[in-house]
Amino acid sequence: MKPTPQQHSFRFNHLGIGDIQLGKRPEQLYGMLPFDHFMGRHTFDVFPATSLYHVFDGDLKCTIESRDTGLELRHLFASTNEEGFINRIFLYPREVNKHLVSRLSQLYGEPEICKSTVAGKLVGTQSLWVTEGETEVSLFSPVYETSINTVISFRFFYDVPALKDYLIAVSI
């Protein structure tokens, strides 16, 4: 039985989107399945191990406020720490527009903005918000191929291993 569209619409909050939140166990959340069962798993390289990742199975739309038309997601990944709790959430929007930073700022306040460079060449912009709940929400917007590599992520602000050790890369 296919879920109703309402079940696939989640609202942004300080810990993630809808019930998919930092600190929860992914196997207890509707629609989450282990990364190894994800048909598109070969498109992504995940670190430190695939066994620590789950993916949302199905179409997904996120809203920032109730009047919002929503942001359709291509992918949602959640990584877990060694205890099995979500320590990082990665959202990959289907389409990106220049208003995404201002839309997220409506909920999280003014971001800190940094330029990302590799070998002296600008590759993108990182917008960072630290919420009242001590989580960090980040939006990476690449200079090129924005619809493929734009990612919104959530992590607890003081969880440095989630920031440094838990990464996703698109396989070429």
99 with 85: CB under 8 angstroms? no
Question: How much is the pLDDT for 148?
Answer: 64
Q: How far apart are CA 157 and CA 40, in angstroms?
A: 30
* Global pTM value: 0.91
Q: Which residue has the tokens 């998919």?
A: 20
Rounded average pLDDT over 165-172: 86
Question: How much is the pLDDT for 35?
Answer: 97
**Dihedral-angle region of residue 132 (phi above 0 means left; psi in -120 to 50 means alpha; beta otherwise):** alpha
Token code pair at residue 57: 């199975």
pLDDT digits (tens, 9 = 90+) for 121-140: 998 999 999 998 899 999 99
97 with 45: CB under 8 angstroms? no
pLDDT digits (tens, 9 = 90+) for 37-85: 999 999 999 999 999 999 998 889 999 877 777 899 999 999 999 999 9
| pLDDT of 1 strictly over 70 | no
Q: How far apart are CA 120 and CA 69, in angstroms?
A: 38
